[in-house]
A = this chain, B = another copy of it.
Amino acid sequence: MSDLALPMVVPEPGLPPKVTIYEVGPRDGLQNEQALVPTEVKAAFVRRLLAAGLPIVEATSFVHPKWVPQLADAAELMTGLTAEIGDTARDLPVLVPNDRGLDRALELGLRHVAVFASATETFAAKNLNRTLETQFAMFEPTVARAVASGVDVRGYVSMCFGDPWEGPVPVDQVVAVGRRLLDLGCHQLSLGDTIGVATAGQVRALVAGFAAAGVAADRLALHFHDTYGQALTNVHAGLQAGVTTYDASAGGLGGCPYAKSATGNLATEDLVWFLTGLGIEHGVDLRAVVDASTWMAGHLGRPSPSAVVRALAQSPA
């Protein structure tokens, strides 16, 4: 058999020549796993993803262990990674839900953090125990102090396209939340389709809505879930709208606890196949990511839902 371990390359005119893949597997992918993954397995996973060429790997979250027991070892993980890979570990982003989380990140000398906002009233209440308005009071001091400390802050916005309680989410509402996070000092927004319901026209409309509010595509990242199989077409629409950063999770790990589907985050491997076929530079070694995901799937005791991982697992390396 001929080598079909990579797609044929046929560029599409007008797309960005280069894309940044923001890997969320170790944090977003693992956070909902019930069985605790040993810290050294998490560290090895992060190291393998970095070795595969992923330019950004979000490593963990300094969230209260009561809410996410899986990530209770955040400080231990980051300390271990710093011992192992030195300064590189300090550039791995970590989620900090509040001021206490930021304290812990600063103590370890970390240089990139992320905060998490909701685009809808109901999800703000359920996930943050705040209102759409009062959630900002929680982030404001955190973002301000991080920026003052020379730390980059990414702002996640969840439920940007649809919300399981409220249905479709108006573009203006998402833009207002995103605009506030940028004004507080975030350098980038990650716009999340937390329940995976978006289709291509919605992506185009949301990016246009931000442009109309003075937010250029280079301040945006897109974070898609593949719950309804739409994640890659949404990336395609995002590329056509000029967005150059995409979140993805190695092996398709993870998903939203409020949408218990078999499929969660867009798999890094499916994204890499797509970008490679379009001749878009990404710097990632597909086989190395597949190997890392397959290795992690072994630890978790179930196969990866990624189509590319499944297809390549059946072909020779």
Decide if A146 is an interface residue (CB 8 Å cutoff): no
Which residues of A are interface residues toward B (Cβ below 8 A)? 1-4, 7-12, 161-168, 195-202, 204-205, 226-230, 232-233, 235-237, 259-263, 267, 270, 273-274, 276-279, 306-308, 310-311, 314
Q: How far is the CA of A160 from the CA of B57 in the complex (A)?
A: 37
Contacts of A263 in B (CB 8 A): 307, 310-311
Q: How far is the CA of A300 from the CA of B37 in the complex (A)?
A: 36
Determine which of B205, B261, B270, B279 lies in contact with A201 in the assembled complex, contact meaning CB atoms within 8 Å. Answer: B279
Decide if A261 touches B2 in the complex (CB within 8 Å).
no
Contacts of A229 in B (CB 8 A): 226, 232, 267, 270, 273-274, 306-308
Q: How far is the CA of A279 from the CA of B205 in the complex (A)?
A: 14
Which residue of chain B lies nearest to A236 when distances are taken between CB atoms in the complex? B233
Determine which of B9, B163, B167, B201 lies in contact with A277 in the assembled complex, contact meaning CB atoms within 8 Å. Answer: B201
Contacts of A274 in B (CB 8 A): 199-200, 229-230, 233
Decide if A307 touches B168 in the complex (CB within 8 Å).
no
Decide if B230 touches A200 in the complex (CB within 8 Å).
no
Determine which of B4, B162, B278, B310 lies in contact with A199 in the assembled complex, contact meaning CB atoms within 8 Å. Answer: B278
Decide if A273 touches B311 in the complex (CB within 8 Å).
no
Other A-B pairs beyond A200-B274, A201-B279, A232-B233, 19, CB < 8 Å: A4-B167, A7-B162, A7-B202, A8-B167, A200-B236, A200-B278, A201-B277, A202-B277, A229-B267, A229-B270, A229-B273, A229-B274, A229-B307, A232-B232, A233-B236, A259-B311, A261-B307, A261-B311, A263-B307
Q: How far is the CA of A205 from the CA of B198 in the complex (A)?
A: 27
Q: Knowing A164-B4, A229-B273, say if A199 contacts B311 (CB, 8 Å).
A: no
Contacts of A228 in B (CB 8 A): 7, 270, 273, 307-308, 311
Q: How far is the CA of A260 from the CA of B162 in the complex (A)?
A: 35
CB distance from A129 to the nearest CB of B (A): 19
Decide if B308 touches A198 in the complex (CB within 8 Å).
no
Decide if A7 touches B277 in the complex (CB within 8 Å).
no
Contacts of A311 in B (CB 8 A): 196, 227-228, 259, 261, 263
CB distance from A36 to the nearest CB of B (A): 26
Decide if A201 touches B259 in the complex (CB within 8 Å).
no
Which 9 interchain pairs have the tightest Cβ spacing? A199-B277, A229-B307, A10-B201, A2-B167, A8-B168, A229-B270, A12-B201, A10-B202, A261-B311
Centre residue among A195, A232, A259 by max chain B CB count within 10 A: A232
Q: Knowing A263-B307, A310-B263, say if A199 contacts B10 (CB, 8 Å).
A: yes
* Cβ contacts A to B, 10 pairs, < 8 Å: A7-B228, A8-B161, A8-B167, A196-B307, A199-B273, A201-B279, A229-B274, A229-B307, A232-B233, A233-B274
